[in-house]
Structure 1
Amino acid sequence: MRRRWRADLRGPADRRQASSGGTVKVRSGEVELAVRVRGTDGPTVVLVHGYPDTHTVWDRVTALLEKDFRVVTYDVRGMGESTPPSTEDGYRLEHLAQDLFTVIDEVSPDAPVHVVGHDWGSIQAWEAVTTPGARIATFTSISGPCLDHMAHWSRKGLSIARLRQLARSWYIGAFHLPVLAPLFWRLYLGPRWGGVLRRLEGVRAEPAPTITRDAVRGISLYRANIRPVMRSPRHRLAPMPVQVIQPTRDRYIRTEPLDLERWVPTLRRRRIAAGHWAPLSHPAPLARMISEFIADSTPPRELVVITGGGSGIGRATAVAFARTGARVVVSDVDFAAAEETADMVDGHAYEVDVRAEEAVRAWARQVADEHGVPDVVVNNAGIGHSGSFLSTSTEQWQRVLDVNLWGVVHGCRAFGELMVERGEGGHIVNLSSAAAYLPSKILSAYATSKAAVFMLSDCLRAELAPHAIGVSAICPGLVNTNITATTTFSGVSAEEQSRKQERASRIYARRGFGPEGVAAEIVRAVRRNRPVVPVTAEAKAARLASRVTPGLLRTFAKLDLG
């Protein structure tokens, strides 16, 4: 019977069986596992579910993967249609890993498979992939760490990250209560599980009819494994490529702090803007990530897009990100300058006028088609203007706002939509200025444009937070770039404007703060997800004064500094 099952799985008969949702029982030790196969003759992907789910948690992902892959799901021991072990000890990780090996041997006896695990499905899959000789080509882990890796990390002493994880794991202690935990599931949580998922996760899914029974049985997963592993963690190395997907709204587990690079030579970390039950709520992004990883397990390089990248802060930012290993795309109205920057960083250059919404949207689509959706967007393009309010013409106001404000709006919208649709988070950096909170009677148009960018960034940060997209407003002070040589002045002759430009350039040059310093702060802002970043001492002092003594700044604004 076992050989016929293997032959059926490899032949056309299996495809008919799979498409009809047929289930075959496979024996693993003392239990029988209910196994299902769907899809094509492509690479085999085995999906392992978590607690308190059954194989049905993968149905939405399977429907997307089966077009290109042979997709295998099974109910883990004691859940759904699989039988339970006779003792609590039967839920130990070594037995769960052996179950996975048994399924792999049955469905793909001659070739390695790709494994995807969620929650406890990921925890038990880690046990398998870190077992020498495992016939696993790649492993994708979602919301389920290796318990040994977690134990090693937790022994490094107290930290904010460890305390937060301890708080998230409160339920583990509750599951060790001998009578109350099963009773709570039977009388309260089990009958209401569908509603719990809707309230906590925003997921609409009908729980399996066996949810209460399965949840009570599954408590043994925690009791049989948590304390033994945490007391004596082992060294568990994963030789195959591993992809770790972290749902950004997961209430229970965070894998970012774990030093997985120590245990996984080929590691790809990715995020998804979802809660813990991402297979139910976000099947399309998950299916895409799984497919991409199977096709190419090489860790991707970060993609950074920068407007106004032909010189100054834009160019320095391109160089700074390139040094981190990122791929860089720059745009500028001066295409020759953009090309020069691109040559410096082995990047790509485009000619774009950020004032034109359709031009920015077309460019964003082109970048996505040719290079992918960016991970970081730096809206840097800007111009300078000085002059009193009454001496600044409507045309001059329009020019400043079109570049400094609308250019940022267009960039945020065009690329922000792509980031939200992708569902993997990202970061938007908007170049504001210390002028945003430092009033001056000779900077009405410029300061207004930068103050608008400052507030736009705060509003956008709140809106995009659920999508795991950070937003930073960068506020430089006096920075020695060529913006001073191109700054326009209101109500002056051409000769006087040239004189003022030269004077401003000398002042900024004497200040001695170059664009590289701003670029370094931009990289740090992205890595640390900082909302507001004053750059240079005067920008930081003005930021403090704007919050503590705003009246003093208003007095300072009256001085004639022109």
Structure 2
Amino acid sequence: MTVLEGARERRVRTGGIELCVAELGDPERPTLVLVHGYPDSKEVWSEVASRLADRFHVVLYDVRGHGCSTAPEPLRGGFTLEKLTDDFLAVVDAVSPGRAVHLVGHDWGSVQAWEFVTVERTRDRIASFTSMSGPSLDHFGHWINRRLRRPTPRRVGQLLGQGAKSWYVYLLHTPALPELAWRGPLGKRWPGILRRLEKVPAGTYPTSSLPDDAAHGAWLYRDNVRARLRRPRTDAHAHAPVQLITPLGDAYLSERLYDELERWVPRLTRRTLAAKHWVPRTRPDQLSAWIAEFVTSVEAEGGGEKAAATPKATGPYAERFGGQLVLVTGAGSGIGRATASAFAEAGARVIAVDLDAESAARTAETCRLIGAPEAWAETVDVSDEQAVEKLAAKVQAELGVVDVLVNNAGTGLAGSFFDTTPEDWRKVLDVNLWGVVHGCRLFGRQMIDRGQGGHIVNIASAAAFQPSRVLPAYSTSKAAVLMLSECLRAELAGRDIGVTAICPGLVNTGITSRARFVGVDAEEEKRRRQRSTRVYRLRNYPPEKVASAVLRAVARNEAVVPVTPEARGAYALSRFAPRVLRWLARVEPPL
């Protein structure tokens, strides 16, 4: 029996075997068919399926010889792609007669699904296909042949790299050994291996049928891999829109396998995910969001030939951040607004947070216009712990857990240490440091509890490592943010949550027009603000470049990122020639 809570189960007979099929959701809604990989059963999809069931008719089935489905006799020759296609059509005819389905495959489920979406007899039965961690064997065969026919150092390196990643494929072709291993020690240790190496949460997956599933599934490789790689089909063109989700940390498949995929898929949407191979278990939130978005867009366009080939997002990181939930504080202007807009252009869902409600609303509206599927405005004082706590609870309840948090809100203060009152110190630290602490603590805890990774970006400053006689409070607050980021990065590394400190230099934003200058009267403070603003404008480093650095840092999981040339120079001096910075700190700037 299935362990999918609330699922309706049926049996479908085809080709002398019986397939176990589970259904969730309303059959009147668009049907999604989720196909599992090796050595899994349909339960690998349980977390994704439960998240999609309120919007779609979700269908999962155990591939022949797996889970509760029966195995062919004899096993040899019983797992060919042609017979697997027969199974798929039998399931589709049973659960969605007369209406095309949206296909989703992982690992060997994706390998099968590539066959389904490229053979003529399934035309008009598939509305879309979402592929993850499993290439078409035909495409793979042509990929290999092109590199063998025209070898270059780069192409040879790609072949050798994928060859090393495919070590397990060779073992699965050996007689009897895989069966003995899976029904022996490997089958017992596999759940622990997944937890340690892939960070797969403990629970009801994998099921007790694993040893038999893995032993039977070895014939998937034996019946198909060598035959297709030697003689790949030349007509393996997809006849439905395809969404490709590539986990960047996949230990078994190289990203280069998909370099030429547009040749075979004229309507292709690409996504990348900072995760390892078993994404249906480690990143169900992100997968369900991307699947729902893709299926909805195909349905809206009428499916099939009318479906759009690319997402609306046009930013350079659309593959990485499309559909993710991003929260930016201080988003009403400057670096915050530019960062929110950059994530919007990459197709992220954006929450623009600012103390000024009108500014936050303008940023959210801009995000919607330039590519964000959704954008919201929230008014919060980040120095108010209870207010941030309410915001975190509201976001989680209504939108889910944030994938990327950008703690950007900040305030400026200049003047002598001895002119800076305790109240001045409290105001600067409350926003610049405690605002970051509140965000990291509350949203970071949600990321930890979800167990699917994430990223925290803290906007520090070049002042964090460049001392100044006129910025004691501001520099101290930003130095604390930098060290907090480094400490938090170390603590969260084992949970796949990255932490980045961004250190801009002189950036043309509105912070100088709002900065306070202590130790002078109102007229002198106004004059110094105007002069500082002119200096920043003359420097004219746009906040959009900082925003680009933020997205790049998250995509690469960088630790500390000095942005402007002067920030990079100061950072280098702080590491290799700190005495120079100490000398420069004594120079009184012309105010």
TM-score normalised by structure 2 residue count: 0.76
Amino acid at match of 1:32: I
Of 480-489 and 35-44, more deviation after overlay is shown by 35-44
The structure 2 residue matched to 1:330, chosen from 334, 352, 370, is 352
- C-alpha contact 1:119 1:142 (8 A) present in aligned 2: yes
Amino acid at match of 1:96: L
| Aligned match of 1:73 | 61
The CA distance in 1 between the partners of 2:386 and 2:95, in whole Å, is: 51
- C-alpha contact 2:20 2:68 (8 A) present in aligned 1: no
The structure 2 residue matched to 1:169, chosen from 166, 182, 204, is 166
| Aligned match of 1:120 | 108
| Aligned match of 1:452 | 480
The CA distance in 1 between the partners of 2:159 and 2:355, in whole Å, is: 48
- SS of corresponding position for 1:559: coil
Aligned-pair distance for 1:405?
A: 1.3
- C-alpha contact 1:247 1:278 (8 A) present in aligned 2: no
Gaps of 5+ in 1: 1-17
- SS of corresponding position for 1:53: coil
| Aligned match of 2:303 | none
- C-alpha contact 2:433 2:480 (8 A) present in aligned 1: yes
TM-score normalised by structure 1 residue count: 0.80
| Aligned match of 1:3 | none
**Compared with structure 1, are the counterparts of its residues 153 and 301 closer, same or farther at alpha carbon in structure 2 (3 Å cutoff)?**
farther
Aligned-pair distance for 1:406?
A: 1.6
Deviations 1:90-124 (A, max 9, x none): 43322322222233234443333344433222221
- C-alpha contact 1:243 1:270 (8 A) present in aligned 2: no
The CA distance in 1 between the partners of 2:464 and 2:11, in whole Å, is: 66
- C-alpha contact 1:271 1:425 (8 A) present in aligned 2: no
Aligned-pair distance for 1:203?
A: 3.6
| Aligned match of 1:136 | 126
Matches of residues 383-532 of structure 1 in structure 2 within 5 Å?
Answer: 383-419=411-447, 425-465=453-493, 468-532=496-560
Aligned-pair distance for 1:548?
A: 1.7
| Aligned match of 2:137 | 147
Does residue 49 of structure 1 match 2:71?
no
- SS of corresponding position for 1:224: helix
| Aligned match of 2:20 | 35
Aligned-pair distance for 1:226?
A: 2.7
**Compared with structure 1, are the counterparts of its residues 97 and 401 closer, same or farther at alpha carbon in structure 2 (3 Å cutoff)?**
same
Amino acid at match of 1:265: R
Does residue 276 of structure 1 match 2:278?
yes
The CA distance in 1 between the partners of 2:50 and 2:418, in whole Å, is: 64
The CA distance in 2 between the partners of 1:220 and 1:457, in whole Å, is: 49
The CA distance in 1 between the partners of 2:537 and 2:517, in whole Å, is: 19
- C-alpha contact 1:308 1:332 (8 A) present in aligned 2: yes
**Compared with structure 1, are the counterparts of its residues 449 and 210 closer, same or farther at alpha carbon in structure 2 (3 Å cutoff)?**
closer
Aligned-pair distance for 1:79?
A: 7.1
| Aligned match of 2:258 | 258
The CA distance in 1 between the partners of 2:347 and 2:51, in whole Å, is: 32
- SS of corresponding position for 2:419: coil
The CA distance in 2 between the partners of 1:71 and 1:232, in whole Å, is: 33
- C-alpha contact 1:274 1:282 (8 A) present in aligned 2: no
Deviations 1:251-290 (A, max 9, x none): 43466973556626253737586762745x7778767776
Query: What CA RMSD, in Å, does the superposition of the two structures yield over aligned residues?
Result: 4.1
The CA distance in 1 between the partners of 2:579 and 2:462, in whole Å, is: 16
The CA distance in 1 between the partners of 2:534 and 2:90, in whole Å, is: 75
The CA distance in 1 between the partners of 2:58 and 2:168, in whole Å, is: 36
**Compared with structure 1, are the counterparts of its residues 65 and 557 closer, same or farther at alpha carbon in structure 2 (3 Å cutoff)?**
closer
**Compared with structure 1, are the counterparts of its residues 324 and 277 closer, same or farther at alpha carbon in structure 2 (3 Å cutoff)?**
closer
| Aligned match of 1:221 | 220
- C-alpha contact 2:100 2:126 (8 A) present in aligned 1: yes
Aligned-pair distance for 1:475?
A: 0.8
The CA distance in 2 between the partners of 1:134 and 1:441, in whole Å, is: 72
Aligned residues: 542
- SS of corresponding position for 2:258: coil
The CA distance in 2 between the partners of 1:521 and 1:175, in whole Å, is: 44
Deviations 1:200-226 (A, max 9, x none): 445455866665454344323223333
The CA distance in 2 between the partners of 1:19 and 1:337, in whole Å, is: 45
- C-alpha contact 1:117 1:141 (8 A) present in aligned 2: yes
- SS of corresponding position for 1:91: coil
**Compared with structure 1, are the counterparts of its residues 374 and 236 closer, same or farther at alpha carbon in structure 2 (3 Å cutoff)?**
farther
- C-alpha contact 1:49 1:76 (8 A) present in aligned 2: no
The CA distance in 1 between the partners of 2:442 and 2:436, in whole Å, is: 10
**Compared with structure 1, are the counterparts of its residues 549 and 150 closer, same or farther at alpha carbon in structure 2 (3 Å cutoff)?**
farther
Aligned-pair distance for 1:165?
A: 5.0
Aligned-pair distance for 1:541?
A: 0.9
**Compared with structure 1, are the counterparts of its residues 85 and 415 closer, same or farther at alpha carbon in structure 2 (3 Å cutoff)?**
same
- C-alpha contact 1:198 1:204 (8 A) present in aligned 2: no
| Aligned match of 1:313 | 335
**Compared with structure 1, are the counterparts of its residues 318 and 257 closer, same or farther at alpha carbon in structure 2 (3 Å cutoff)?**
farther
- C-alpha contact 2:501 2:560 (8 A) present in aligned 1: yes
**Compared with structure 1, are the counterparts of its residues 442 and 119 closer, same or farther at alpha carbon in structure 2 (3 Å cutoff)?**
same
The CA distance in 2 between the partners of 1:354 and 1:219, in whole Å, is: 55
- C-alpha contact 2:7 2:22 (8 A) present in aligned 1: no
- C-alpha contact 1:306 1:318 (8 A) present in aligned 2: yes
Gaps of 5+ in 2: 148-153, 301-310, 312-321, 370-374
